[in-house]
Structure 1
Amino acid sequence: MKKRLLMAGLVLGSMVSVSAFAHGKHVHGEAEMEVALEGNELAIGISGPLANFLGFEHAPKDERQKKALIDMTGDLHEGGRLFELNAEAACSFTSSQVAVRKGDKRVNPIMLQTLGGTEKDGHADMDASYVFSCKKPDALKSITVRLFARFPGLTELDVQMVLPKKQMSAELTPKKPQLSW
């Protein structure tokens, strides 16, 4: 089990890193989602402008922004609430990782102030990864993404998905939050 989780984490980590740097895309409202299913492990990665999730991309300036950062971080760790997998697959949420990235520096979101700079110095991005364990992975046929309801700054997810026998891409929006195959 640990070996599979490590493998899923490595695969997803490389997908998120390659995606974020290869596309060089930082468009407010848009984010990228990578999905990989290997064996019983489903890995999901999300990468996009921090403003989509937090409303700003700089260190918190007041108590309201500090609270927003803490709330966002907590919510992003709740993979079981952010992604609904069809029940037939019998999947359970096992882990999550969340980081803020500015250039090549990555930190826990609560440490955003350590990235330095000001709002005018550039952009910051949010990267999150999730792992689910599925008892019946062949029965997995859909993922409903609940990120749009929690983060109204997010308006579009560009999805790349790798399954054992299929690859696909899709675009999800608040009106079309379900990925089906």
Structure 2
Amino acid sequence: MTKRTKARLKINDVLRGKRTNFRAVGCLLFKEENPETKQTSYWEEWELTGLENYDSWVEYDHDSKVVSLYEPVRFAQRLEPEHLAAGNEFTLTLEDGTAQTITVAEAGEGTIMAIHGKNAYQVFEGEPMAYASLHYTDAETGATTTYTVEKYNRREYDVYRKTPLSDAQQKELFGRL
């Protein structure tokens, strides 16, 4: 049985927010199997055009139902997500020279189950995507920033700032839920 996308998006949907418009141009549907629990998780990443940077995505997690915005960032050093493990802690330098102490919250490998529309990267169904979710907590404000490091087909490498979106934020940004 083929798993379907669940986000309320379709290819070429135009999302009209209060300040900008976006178009959903592509979608990657992922699955990850946990060998210890025998559970399978699914999520989808929708590529958007219309943000200030071309490489922005919206993630919909099938288990938690959380919608998150992924905006590209750059680190001074390259991280290999397949070599990171939950609980690792290290100092990371952002492109602007700011050093941050990072904790790995989660690391794993998903598989691309389906591709819809056009995507900026050359990826194929069945290929792996290693990822690591990194947390940084600002000592002064207590605010937590989440970064996601992704490596597709063992060669395409990207880092994003991941921002979970409330219903109100989705309406503001996209004009709908």
TM range (shorter): under 0.3
State TM-score, norm by structure 2: 0.28
Which structure has greater helix proportion? Answer: 1
Q: Which has the higher strand share?
A: 2
Q: Which structure's relative contact order is higher, taking Cα pairs within 8 Å and 6+ residues apart?
A: 1
TM-score w.r.t. length of structure 1: 0.27
